[in-house]
Structure 1
């Protein structure tokens, strides 16, 4: 699905579905891309041709810069804010409910919602350059929607470290030590080799066994449809504050970094 800026695409080959998202602003996530990403994951999750999913972003730099600052600044009321942050909730819930195991291919840095998406994969393989940051508190909101996914993966302690120290990057080694990444490799080509090898093995594994494993992995999250909606409403209210407007404007004024 192509947009004026960015896209979500997918291809299916030998039982492996590869879903890719792209946005020119460091693979940030405006509402349209979030909507397409959730729909694509839902559709592929029930496609009998597919045995395993690889989720990736385009390019060789940032994996995902999180929420689109342009769209955050355009939010005018709580309903609009809640709707925007619900986009992240829908993607995470689509990944949670998907009957297929999802491998995350992470080629670079991830911020905010990008960290949440990585946490919602079932097995993430990353480069040594793939540091992570939950920057939400620094702009007056908080990682409320992605929080349950991140906390589930790395525990309350790891999640609170990221959420509280919102301006500092944590290295890929830190992320692997805390369980966010399953593997880290020196180069993107090494990551791709590992992703392709694992995806191929899973494509030849028992589909029923993998469905049952996925249910076990995500046990205790059946309430997330309502939980993440409630969290989206918190962010939707906070994003309207003068603090957030000023903080986002200050961030936008800084020189862009890869």
Structure 2
């Protein structure tokens, strides 16, 4: 079965199910960044697969050979004019994380490249992240005048408070894949794409033949204590939505767009 929503210019999310395994792939031409439409489609596909009785395991991946995810779309951040619009945009990340959290299926993240901001949140919200060497991570939110408020709880849950604060405070510094593995963000780190793919295929094959009721009960145990996240992440979205309107954020975004224009010249 294939369900696809696709517009290469604006990015896409597509879903395929084979042998009880659903693979959800997203793409955006700007480094697999996450505008609101892609966030909404991701949440929708995760919920859909979670409700599909023929599905035992979900793999989340992105397309291409560059970054796994470039985080929030700067183009869309620049269009935000009110706190309500800001909250609505950042609630997209909240909806994806909560969809992953409440999904009764185990979710594996395939991390083939660098993760920024919301991309680190996706890796953290997965139940099992399998990455390749070179998959560095960075929380760059503070450099644009906001903070990793929405993705923070998911990251802290995996890395502990110390790991999360290291990422959040040193917002311009990349941490390598080995750091992410040692902190618990990545479950596995592979030297090549081939060995990463082999591990994903092995694990998904095993899980596809596992008892779905046992998986659902395990999932509840893994996420115990996060029942308040529906409210918490929306409150965090409101914080980011307010901060993105600050003069500091406006100037930071202007510098990014100026640098982008200069690079194209």
TM-score normalised by length of structure 2: 0.95
Structure 1 runs of 4+ with >4 Å offset: none
1:27 maps onto 2:29 in alignment:
no
Once residues 27 and 196 of structure 2 are traced to their aligned partners in structure 1, the CA distance between those partners, rounded to angstroms, is 19
Residue 84 of structure 1: aligned partner: 89
If the length of structure 1 is used for normalisation, what is the TM-score? 0.97
Give the whole-Å Cα distance in 1 for the aligned partners of 2:118 and 2:194.
Answer: 25
The alignment partner of 2:59 has SS state of strand
Alignment deviations for residues 129-181 of structure 1 (CA, whole Å, 9 cap, x no partner): 10000000111000000000000111000000000000000000000000000
Q: Deviations over 1:212-251 (max 9, x none)?
A: 1110000000000000000000000000011001112212
User: In the TM superposition, what are the counterparts of 1:176-191 in structure 2 within 5 Å?
Assistant: 176-191=181-196
Q: Give the drift of 1:2.
A: 1.8
Q: Distance in 2 between matches of 1:196 and 1:178?
A: 24
- In structure 2, the residue matched to 1:173 is 178
Is the aligned partner of 1:16 residue 2:2?
A: no
**Which has the higher mean CA deviation after the structures are superposed, 218-227 or 190-199?**
190-199
Which residue matches 2:105? Answer: 100
- Does the CA-based 8 Å contact 1:145-1:231 persist in structure 2? yes
Pairs aligned (count): 256
User: What residue ranges of structure 2 are gaps of 5+ in the alignment?
Assistant: none
Unaligned runs of 5+ in 1: none
2-structure distance, mates of 1:245, 1:195: 41
Aligned-pair distance for 1:5? 1.1
Distance 2:201 2:61 in 1: 12
Find the aligned partners of 2:207 and 2:43 in 1 and give their Cα distance.
22
Aligned-pair Cα RMSD in Å: 0.9
C-alpha separation between the residues in 2 aligned to 1:190 and 1:252?
Answer: 38
Q: 2:203 aligns with which of 192, 198, 206?
A: 198
Does the alignment pair 1:156 with 2:180?
no
Q: Secondary structure at the match of 2:22?
A: strand
